[in-house]
Chain A
């Protein structure tokens, strides 16, 4: 989230697309209903009418996988009707930047496409610069080669008729949504976009989110209270886990994992390659060196490149994401797997195949609260023949959150400390303890080794106290970082050094544990204004609650609206002050150079309407991997930058065999693969059956009655479930034809108190071109009576 949960109360309009917060983030509605009570509007855009839709003022239907068409149409509408926030767009975005001549777009493809590699040369989407290297701009936004005009041209193809022919949205509703959300373009008004996995789990997931950000920049909603682009994280601590290097290509604080490429052979080379010349990221060497000092302690010295060579290196350009790991596993390239609280036999794409892949492992360790479908994948209940499976499976019982202490970081980036409530059950251990014991055993095992390959383990510093239970306070202190000489806690990341005199496990968290103590333990209810509660827990970065909040002020530093004041320039004090911590250098005056670079983290300081990700600088509509209609916007059917994985893992269905669009989702009562909730009686009774939701029209066509047992098939598998025939699903009336859609929860498996067949046996093993998140949210299937 750029903003945070409490801040939703300040919105004039919330557009909820690709998310169902009433069901999956219910607390959001505590704040959204406050906004509604003050006259704010709620818009719900979803293939089906959800519990969120019922609380919305406007519900618009769209076919799964048509989000870019939907949003592109809105951008076109805002530009045509001039509803965008012009002063904001000129001051805070790259709209005025002149784009290099190489850039072009034709029939669904941008310039520099390499069909064989299915990739672009992203450097070909650059801005034009003068001799001094300064970007050329046209502040009138009239130059045909400026970002604004190129964007206008790009989205002029997204006229309302074309858009609704792709999305299936009712025209009147679509226009009402455009008008209502467009009203937030007025200076001083703010609108928020809330999204979740319904947006990201597509082959165009990244561009879905990009286009939300573009619309928000156009309407001047980024940085505003009640505005922003807000990812509703699907797990209580998924924000925290990605902050701490969960993703394969990141280390802590969203910095790069080194690759085994020639440029990165030395630490110096690595830093040169990965440090931008401008923007706040030019401080990266300070953050990286401090992190290496946290990893290797006194074994990291200037002489040994601060232990850079101890870091594992990725093969350049190799994809180590979830699906590619399972491809490798299926191909017999992986020996072992260590899994913490993950259940791919239920949650993985094409879960049936992922289960098969597990049986090719030599060993597998599952760390979980219960024996899950995955940890028991070899059992008969899973449909396996135990005698045929050679994988040695270990199960380590883990503690639930109540049985341990530590912090979680919520969607609003608040790091909130939690204390242990009860003693762990049985032999279960906290994840931290398990890792601690593993590290100690490994270090013991290799302590006398003289092999160079073993030095990283020997060099690793592991000073978290003696005994089996690590001292979590020491872990926290190291995450924040301290002066290596004085051992004093560092007060903020700005004070980190690249000379090895400071350590910090995660630079974005530097500032949470100062000499004042662990600030994530703070529970001060005092509201200094606008519900930011600066003394409640601690938010990264630097306790800022609203990212980009410089943009809530006009270029001269005063709020766009008195009602929506978070920070402002105090000319007397010559400081940015207010009820939030300014997301800006606190003494940089508005009228000096860079004084209006509201997004000062970025190299240009401006919000990127034009910004290159793998499939291009402007989001473009492509159909999902499996699609029922041809792409009306171009002849390119699938996102041209999407990579295909192992063919055996990813059978493709055609519309003639599987004419129905399907999507998966979560419901309030269960969580993820159900491992935690389907073992909880009071939640299990609330949703105890696997079901498939479908329209009355489709049910009639297929001779299905409500409560009938039905079988859903895709190119990859079949699932039996109850039919839930509802008025909340309607066929999509597209320009080409009418398309039916069904939806199903993906929470069920064969373990637990309530069981059901696993929806992900149907889903495709293909993902987004940037993140490789699987395309769970749009695929093809057929349905019949069981």
Chain B
């Protein structure tokens, strides 16, 4: 707990970090270029893009970069990708218990959160929602981009799906950003997604089970070395 050089543990691989930020950037551009159409309060944004046609073009370029990360990560770090998928699909008692305590934490109180996995339950929910909303957005977006290849009813359903996808994803992303950047308690986690490592203490506090696994692995290593 010293303020000197805390002991660091490795959290995310370089490819994961890259695609995360690429995805984030693409989402941000998509979001900004969609906002003026989504709500009239942001109509002024059209001017930023040089008119609706410009916004549409930016949106479509960004859409490609939004889809690209899946391809990149599958090529560059398939292990990390499948680990993520496996993790977020695994739901145990401690995951559910997380939510009981989380609000206290969120609003700056003292929370008694049970030990969490590499991805805590909050992150798992975030991941699942991200995947779901991305799927909604990508599929419906594709239909809207190429309406000539789809029946009219499909195209007409694409609009609400894209719309709902946007609403959900925006909510998710805002929460996600706050928890990783804005919330005083999660500052360290940001480093995991930038430098790729986190303080050991942070790991212990927020991802107890992962920390335990790390320690177990270290012990095993120690034994081997010893």
Q: Do chains A and B touch in the complex (CB under 8 A)?
A: no
